[in-house]
Chains A and B, each alone.
Chain A
Amino acid sequence: MPLSRLKHMKKTTRSNLITFAIVIVFYLVVQILSGAGVTSRSFEGQLVPICAYVMLAISLNLTVGFLGELSLGHAGFMSVGAFSGVLLWTVLGDSVPVYVALPLAFIVGGVVAGIFGVIVGVPVLRLSGDYLAIVTLAFGEIIKNIINACYLGIDENGLHFSMTDATSLGMEPDGKMLINGAMGITGIQKASTFTIGIVLVLITLIVILNMINSRTGRAVMAIRDNEIAAQSVGINLTRYKLTAFVMSAVFAGFAGVLYGLNYSSLVASRFDYNTSIQILVFVVLGGIGSIRGSIIAAALLTVLPEVLRGLQDYRMLIYAIVLIVVMIFNQSPQIVAWRKRIVARFTGKKDEKKGVA
């Protein structure tokens, strides 16, 4: 029965199931290989960042691919999520059991990023196109600079906060710095594992794929395709735009926490303009509007620079060339046509054979 059901399934449902299957199979294969001791340390060390980047790519694809708005500040949401989640983890980590503190850290990271999503989204989503891109770019830079100037400490008198420097906190000598300006958060107890990462990726997929295939998702895509037409049939533009934008921010926040808890130091300058662009590259390369493409592109492009490490300084060049080649292969009209011809030839041949047999 399951097989026959698979055949008669809706096309999107089947496609979504394949996406889930890819993630689960990847997880199982990696687990088996690492259990057998085949994988290198270098590869195992990249698994958590891969999960974080996959989540970021999926969530940005919601804004870029389905809402149709160009956001260049995705790293900003990642940053606020990472800092709030990691902050909570460092404060609670010692006193509260892990199974409470860790989910709480993720939830707080996501919620804070979501709040920032609302704050940025409400004024910004009135804009579109280039303007939105510029404002989100500015948002990312503002977040980076604010966190860089943040000093937060804790001692027996409670929390101390300053935007000037560490000495102005006036802390007791035994006080502990939580956020130390440009030095960020240090001494983080690492908590991210590949399993947590994959679970988060699956949650992201479930929520975002369901949202895309729901009434909300159809409304969002209608807005993307023709704003005026969507408005004329009674779709509340602001509401649906904001829903998609905030959801994208929330998952960027989750990814930020996952990323932050994977290293023992966290600095705001990591989440700069370049990181936003990097995530956008994953989305564009994987295919705008294709969730599965985003996953594959994010995973491959995270691993690629490390695979090319042997090439020393040439790796930057090769990385760029690979990007250009893949982009042309995916997007150039001539090559797309050529690919279609090839596929048609193969499928055509198969049909002929079937006919002969």
Chain B
Amino acid sequence: MKKLISGMLAATMALSLAACGGTETSSAATGSDGSSSAATSEGGTTAEGTGTPIHLGGIGPLTGDNAAYGIAVNNGAELAVNEINAAAGTEVFALDFQDDESDSEKAVNAFNTLLDGGMQVLVGPVTSNPSISVAAECASENIFMLTPSASSVDVVTAGEGTAFQMCFTDPNQGLTAADYIADNSLGTAIGIIYDSSDAYSTGIYTAFAKEAGERGLNIVQTSSFTSDNNTDLSTQVQQCQQAGADLVFLPIYYQQASQVLIAANNIGYTPTFFGCDGMDGILGIDGFDTSLADGLMLLCPFSAYGEDDTTKTFVSAYEAAYGETPNQFAADAYDCVYAIYQCVQDGTITPDMSAQDMCDALKSAFTSMSFSGTTGENQTWAADGTISKEPKVYQVQDGAYALVGSEE
């Protein structure tokens, strides 16, 4: 028996060693691939000819309830890193993505692990609450943090100038959505269904309700649910129907939004549905009848059906690599890596810099530069880390997004 246990322990250790070795060899392999192609290609004109990569760290939920978002971010960042390394012909970036299960404790642990591993710039975390805790750590360690999708204002507040966002803040989305609805007179009686247990959803809802009050929008029904009872939302839909809402605002994620659309279809309720960037991805849900989403409007910086070259290249590469249409999480992460790459290209940061020097350089670069990517043209950052870009409103038509307007 003892032999059995010691055997198992040995196997465990061997496995863990093998796993560590596995990641090392794979990164070494890409490195050697990179250098061999560098010899043949004419690329590598920029400052990164040294061959030592800049270590990017990523944090996000790869397991647990929010795994869908973390996996999308991981894929988007990985795709960008692979593209950049292949195009430069040398290893510009090395990405290490750690799981946080969308929990502050795990996220801070992941952050510490990444620092132990020599991380220089952090892309992440994905969800808001872990991001607030990690942003505070980044502020005290002076590590540059660029989160693709943590949209709470508290993230940049906790980061004290070291944390930057690639997405809109929640209040900004709520405010813009209310303005757009008011400006275009989309609804006379507005119903809202939101997730009161989710920071993203309540953040948008609070700002929306405030702005709606100021713009004279008539909110007739506010219904909420929590993460514990988010599988059947027919009650909330019925409440909106009974209140006579002709526009239902859904500041929620696409999984729950699909439940709302199904429930509305079941009772023959056809108001205009209006969502925010969390709605992106609704057309990619397995087994969801996308015709139900016809007419759905969403305020989102990214459309996988966009016609510009950047988006087309990204979408086709993503589909080839991961077999699904990318959502805004993946696009934001992809943009994060390219935004940092822009600073590599103009020589702001070099691999031999310490993480702290890199943080100072990136902070001043980000507040002065303009970045164009899959989630918008000419995006700029304020000194507090919030982004400013053009919000776009799309409408779902025949299983694709059609641009219907933009709101300044």
**A residues lining the B interface (CB < 8 Å):** 40-42, 44-46, 49, 141, 145, 148-149, 165-167, 180-184, 186-187, 190, 259, 263-267, 269-270, 306-314, 316, 318, 322, 325, 329, 335, 338, 342
Contact = CB atoms under 8 A, between A and B. Distances in A.
Given A263-B133, A264-B132, A313-B63, A182 B202 contact: yes
B206 A187 contact: no
Interface in B76-117: 98-99, 103-105, 108-113, 115-116
A293 B110 CA distance: 27
B105 A167 contact: no
B205 to A, nearest CB: 7
Nearest to A264: B136
22 contacts: A44-B112, A49-B105, A141-B228, A148-B196, A148-B226, A165-B206, A167-B206, A180-B202, A182-B201, A183-B152, A183-B203, A187-B132, A259-B105, A263-B104, A264-B132, A264-B133, A264-B135, A308-B16, A309-B110, A313-B99, A316-B63, A335-B1
Contacts of A148: 196-197, 226
B210 interface: yes
Chief secondary structure at chain B's binding surface: helix
Nearest to A316: B63
Contact of B19 (A183, A186, A267, A310): A310
Given A148-B226, A269-B227, A310 B16 contact: yes
B136 A314 contact: no
B360 interface: no
B12 A183 contact: no
Interface centre among A41, A314, A322, by most chain B C-beta atoms within 10 angstroms, is A41
Given A42-B113, A166-B206, A265 B129 contact: yes
Interface in B289-304: none
Nearest to B194: A165
A183 B202 contact: yes
A180 B196 CA distance: 11
A267 B22 CA distance: 36
B62 interface: yes
A224 B57 CA distance: 51
A306 B2 CA distance: 26
B128 interface: yes
Given A41-B112, A263-B133, A181 B16 contact: no
B7 to A, nearest CB: 11
Contacts of A44: 112
A166 B203 CA distance: 9
A66 to B, nearest CB: 28
B285 interface: no
A335 B196 CA distance: 49
B8 interface: yes
Nearest to A46: B109
Interface string B181-210: 000000000000001111101110110011
A316 B113 CA distance: 17
Contacts of A166: 202, 206
B143 to A, nearest CB: 12
B390 interface: no
A183 B16 contact: no
Given A165-B206, A312-B19, 11 more contacts: A145-B226, A183-B128, A187-B154, A187-B157, A264-B132, A265-B132, A265-B154, A267-B129, A269-B227, A307-B16, A310-B19
